[in-house]
Structure 1
Amino acid sequence: MTAPILAGALLALPGGTAAQELRSYAVVGDAIPLSLTGAAGDAARGRALVIERSSTCILCHSGPFPERKFQGDLAPDLSGSGSRASEGQLRLRLVDASRLNAATIMPSYYRVDGLDRVGTLWRGKPILSAEQIEDIVAYLVSLRE
């Protein structure tokens, strides 16, 4: 009885699904200019992901989320992120922030190789899917103030 419940809980976690093929992308300067999915993301779904504690965004970042108490203060406020960075720059920061800053504490949400201290359940799997990355990018780009 416990195994099916545990399996269901694991599938609900980001990255808790079966291993998936990472989509290819090109880094140009400090950005990934093209969508990982070939389509724009959904900003409403992106906002939901950002404020969901399991995605970890608001554990470190704060932002325009009045319904969420106890937002993080380790990383920049997400308010105005669409004014500070381009869509491609935001995409690279989500995919693999360590390409810009090797000492960053921000997770590489769409990278599986070359990582240390990865939990067994997460090995070989991205934390977020390409679709989730694009949804979050769409939301962050919309934050202009």
Structure 2
Amino acid sequence: MIVIFATPEDVEAAFYEAIARADLGALMSVWAEDEEIVCIHPTGQRLVGADAIRDSWRSIFANNPRLSVRLSRGVRWSGMLLSVHTVVEMLYIGDDRKPHGPMLATNVFQRGASGWRLLAHHSSTAAEREATEGDGGGDRNTPRTLH
């Protein structure tokens, strides 16, 4: 069964929920059916294509089956067919309530025949100062539309 995501926010929520459940099938279902989908982990490893991404997440889940990510300070740009979200991620592993991070992530979504899908996820460690300073004012969670 193919899940149709109505919005980029739905895809993003499903992506992070799949991580929290260590559900590889659900995690892979959010990705676009494109040979050149890209995932870049905080380690700097660049993965291209579904097979490389699946293998990487399988390994992550085998070593850390209880992960959760909390997002904050999202900035979103949305158009008819493409949406880009940047967020601050805080990672929690197992029962350890001490956050790992902060990390900066960029998620790129594309709308196609089967709804919105993830094209690219890029997460990298952030300088502590970057993640705790003000974001320049304004409501950063307000979606913006590109014309």
Above 0.5 in TM-score?
A: no
Q: Kindly indicate which of the two structures has a greater share of residues assigned to helix.
A: 1
- With a CA cutoff of 8 Å and minimum separation of 6, indicate the structure with the bigger relative contact order: 1
Greater fraction of residues in strand: 2
